[in-house]
Structure 1
Amino acid sequence: MNTRSGSRHLRRVFWLLPLLAAILSSCAPRDPYQFNICRLALPGIEDEDRQIRLVTRFDETSDGNQITLRYQLLEPGEIPLPSTETHAITCHFEAATKPNTPTNLYAIETTRLGPVSDAHMALLKRFWIDRVGRTALESYIDPESHGLRADVPDIGLPAAYAIQLVLSGLSRGAIYGLLALSFTLIYGLIGRINLAFGEVVMTAALGTIITSLWISGMVGWLIPVMVVGSVAMAAFIGSGLSHLTWRNVFGPLGRKAAGGRAVIVASLGCVLVIQEFIRIVISARNFNLPPIWQFSVPLLRGDHFVVRLHGFDMLAIGGAVLVAGVLVWIMGKTAFGRNWRAISQDRLGAALCGVSLSRTESQSFVLAGFLCGLTGAMLALRYGVINFHSGTLFGFKALTAAILGE
């Protein structure tokens, strides 16, 4: 095995992450806005003196620009039976130009009454859904759930809260764990901490947002294309910027055998330079990316609280485990990994045995920057808000994780 083989496997991992993103994006359920609008419209069409039992749950609805809900009509006090007739209402919506934005309801039809006329639609939207539609929820049986309660096991409220906190912590820990690997990779090699990695993450996240918005302007809101393009740009920015800091700052300091204080001061200088460059040359404002992946999978519940695993949490946890596993393989099986371990154990002895110190350091900074790029892409796509000083907080959180993991 050689360094080129390790780089080839790392590139394979890089392309697996967007593939995972595309798979997850294809299983996103229906927007709750459309579900609620269709649910509110139903009492305005059916008989006022009958109760409505919604058979379709929110997590059962399909994707597309239309939504179909199944329901039963019951007399007051009537108990629903398996033989009770089931009807369906289909609501047609205009295609959304952006994700998670309200879409226009333009047609409704039911299996019992047929299509709703244009005049009825206009009155229904103006005087029913927009004004008194919420009060129509009293026409439903079990008005507190309205069909939104997921059909998952009930484990009790305290346990559900605890599991949701664990899942949220795993997602955030996976993201910051990638950045912590960058700190560990460099500290284990040169015995110094590079505080500028937080700013590398910030710059990569900024590149992710700008690339995503540019792609959306070119081809529309195609989520797999946006994720692939923005992650590729983030990895390129992270690797390039990290290599630039090594070539101009940390490499020369290493050749002069500078002490720890000099490296810390130099890394703080890199932080200020990157921050001020973004603030002056690009912008000091917040860069925002609309949520592009707002779906979740219900797992458990406690009373009305549902434990959910969000799409980007799946990507973050799965991607972090995959990247960490490949990194372990690279460090143990490739020539780069052997050189890195030799230098970390005995720098002078490794140099006497023919190991190129500068080449290994350069490759380590590029790899660390790649991990920073992935971290920045995940943070940008998950939270969608980045500014020129976000990197400081990112860096110190990951540094804390790296210290605790030692």
Structure 2
Amino acid sequence: MAIGLMACQPENPWNFNICRIALPGIEDDASKIRLLTRFDEIEDPTHITLRYQILPDPSPSFIPKTRSSVPPASLPIHRLTCQFAAAEMPNSPGILIGIETSRYGTISPTHLSILNRFWLDRVGSYALERYENADRHGLMASVPDIGSRLAYGIQLAINGLSRGAIYGLLALSFTLIYGLIGRINLAFGEIVMTAALSTVITGLLLSSRIGWNIVLIVTAATLIAMFVGTGLSHLTWRNVFGPLGRKAAGGRAIIVASLGCVLFIQEFVRIIISARNFNLPPLWQYSFPVLRSDHFVVRVLGFDVLSIGMAVLIGIGLIWLMARTRFGRQWRAISQDRIAASLCGVSLQRIESQSFVLAGFLCGITGAIMALRYGVINFHSGTLFGFKALVAAILGGIGQMRGAWLGGFVIGLTEAFWSGYFGGAYRDVAVFGLLAAILVLRPGGLLGVNDGKDSLFSPRIRQI
């Protein structure tokens, strides 16, 4: 994760826009300016160099004012470099501290002060009318141009896959526990909320102490979230689900106990920490264009790649863990027949404890990604999110890892397309309506309930 963050420069359109607006204030005698520098060519947001040409004023009315009437090769290319002080907050405008041009040299401090006060602060975006093409402003992405409907649909699909990957990560926690004991732990949503809250608090504390060091903040906050999710999940097993399992409590008792865990964690966070929203400013807004339709650009955010990539990597890791390790073999043995596994020397309590720890680890990663991606968390954020992840697990086929993946992506895509075409007012109604329709048509989910074979990735033989 840290390597990926260091490899990508965050996009900062503020400084580019300030420099672009300042250019007509310097070239005040130019009737039209042709901007040659594109936004995606900027590498250092603190030193932005714009290449431009000054177009001649076509004073006779019979001369058409078209781009083709002035060949680019026949005009000299000028340069303007804006220097900015680093912004105090991420994704916010820097302070313009210097301008140097190829025509006028270095702008004096007095000229710069006048430019800031009477041009940038007052004229603003009206200066963009001085450019040859006021619609492009040098920001048009150099990517294939497709139809508007297709571009919009692809953007919604990307957003849906990103959100579905987060649902899928949490659905894996439900799947891991249900595949082992045949019971559902409703408290996983609150564990995700607590992990996400710890991510936000850690990010805010580190930013106030060391500044906006993105790599360090993201790494430390994610590690804290993993620790919180793992520890809290282990505590729920040790104090609630473990004792109930040893007393052979029924499914209704475990459901009531998990609801008690939900209320306890919610009220603990509300009373001890706060009931307000915790907001983490955007740390990493890197994105890259892939397609466009005129001025609508289909973009993939860095955190979209991160969430989908984490879901894939964790899925591959779980496949290896369950197929190649002693824990995986013992997990499958308990999933197939608890009594036979116990008679063969498998420790039921140890495997259950490790499974809850692993599920909490997945909750911690889910909470960290959710906090870093969306940035707003409160004490009841995990309830609806947890129910949707449970819906994803049931939709795909509860107890199957492939079902958790499939259900998560189906829920994410449903939310994205419904919000994009019909608005977000009834988005949750559409999600739960989809669940009802699937359960009516396929009561076992898309891939069937895990109740026939001996693997996390396929149904179980027996439930006890």
TM tier, smaller: over 0.9
Aligned residue among 228, 244, 255 for 1:264: 255
The percent identity for this pair of structures is 67
Contact 2:5 2:215 in 1 (8 A): no
Instruction: Name the structure 1 match of 2:238.
Output: 247
Taking a change above 3 Å as real, the CA distance of residues 216 and 293 of structure 1, as seen in their structure-2 partners, is: same
In the TM superposition, residue 388 of structure 1 has moved relative to its aligned partner by 0.6
1:332 aligns to 2:313 (yes or no): no
In the TM superposition, residue 217 of structure 1 has moved relative to its aligned partner by 2.3
Instruction: Name the structure 1 match of 2:334.
Output: 343
CA distance in 2, matches of 1:109, 1:116: 6
Deviations along 1:160-201, one digit per CA (max 9) or x if unpaired, are: 111111111111111111100000000111111000000000
Aligned residue among 164, 173, 183 for 1:173: 164
In the TM superposition, residue 117 of structure 1 has moved relative to its aligned partner by 1.5
Q: TM-score, normalised by structure 2?
A: 0.81
Contact 2:10 2:285 in 1 (8 A): no
Instruction: Name the structure 1 match of 2:152.
Output: 161
Deviations along 1:262-298, one digit per CA (max 9) or x if unpaired, are: 0000000000000010011111111111111112101
1:360 counterpart SS class: helix
Deviations along 1:140-174, one digit per CA (max 9) or x if unpaired, are: 01101111110110011111111111111111111
Instruction: Name the structure 1 match of 2:22.
Output: 41
Contact 1:25 1:293 in 2 (8 A): no
Amino acid in the other structure paired with 2:50: L
Aligned residue among 185, 189, 197 for 2:188: 197
Contact 1:29 1:59 in 2 (8 A): no
Amino acid in the other structure paired with 2:172: L
In the TM superposition, residue 25 of structure 1 has moved relative to its aligned partner by 4.4
Instruction: Name the structure 1 match of 2:103.
Output: 112
2:72 counterpart SS class: coil
In the TM superposition, residue 83 of structure 1 has moved relative to its aligned partner by 4.3
In the TM superposition, residue 84 of structure 1 has moved relative to its aligned partner by 2.7
Instruction: Name the structure 1 match of 2:417.
Output: none
Greater alpha carbon shift after TM alignment, 42-51 vs 325-334? 42-51
Instruction: Name the structure 1 match of 2:274.
Output: 283
Aligned residue among 39, 44, 48 for 1:67: 48
Q: TM-score, normalised by structure 1?
A: 0.93
Deviations along 1:299-350, one digit per CA (max 9) or x if unpaired, are: 1101211000001111111111111110111011111111111111111111
Aligned residue among 205, 222, 233 for 1:214: 205
Amino acid in the other structure paired with 2:394: I
CA distance in 1, matches of 2:301, 2:231: 31
Match runs of 1:295-314 below 5 Å: 295-314=286-305
Q: Which sections of structure 2, spanning at least 5 residues, go unmatched?
A: 58-64, 398-464
In the TM superposition, residue 50 of structure 1 has moved relative to its aligned partner by 2.9
Count of matched residue positions in the alignment of Structure 1 and Structure 2:
387
Contact 2:178 2:184 in 1 (8 A): yes
Instruction: Name the structure 1 match of 2:445.
Output: none
1:184 aligns to 2:175 (yes or no): yes
CA distance in 1, matches of 2:75, 2:220: 51
1:68 counterpart SS class: strand
2:73 counterpart SS class: coil
In the TM superposition, residue 29 of structure 1 has moved relative to its aligned partner by 4.3
Contact 1:29 1:62 in 2 (8 A): no
Contact 1:74 1:80 in 2 (8 A): no
Instruction: Name the structure 2 match of 1:7.
Output: none
CA distance in 2, matches of 1:127, 1:47: 13
Contact 1:298 1:308 in 2 (8 A): yes
CA distance in 2, matches of 1:68, 1:26: 22
2:135 counterpart SS class: coil
In the TM superposition, residue 250 of structure 1 has moved relative to its aligned partner by 0.3
In the TM superposition, residue 254 of structure 1 has moved relative to its aligned partner by 0.6
Aligned residue among 28, 31, 56 for 2:37: 56
Q: Which sections of structure 1, spanning at least 5 residues, go unmatched?
A: 1-17
Instruction: Name the structure 2 match of 1:82.
Output: 73
In the TM superposition, residue 116 of structure 1 has moved relative to its aligned partner by 1.1
1:226 aligns to 2:207 (yes or no): no
Instruction: Name the structure 2 match of 1:14.
Output: none
CA distance in 2, matches of 1:150, 1:221: 28
In the TM superposition, structure 1's runs of 4+ consecutive aligned residues that sit over 6 Å from their partners are none
Instruction: Name the structure 1 match of 2:434.
Output: none
Taking a change above 3 Å as real, the CA distance of residues 212 and 49 of structure 1, as seen in their structure-2 partners, is: closer
1:373 counterpart SS class: helix
Match runs of 1:76-155 below 5 Å: 76=57, 77=65, 78-155=69-146
1:383 aligns to 2:371 (yes or no): no
Contact 1:30 1:63 in 2 (8 A): no
1:300 counterpart SS class: strand
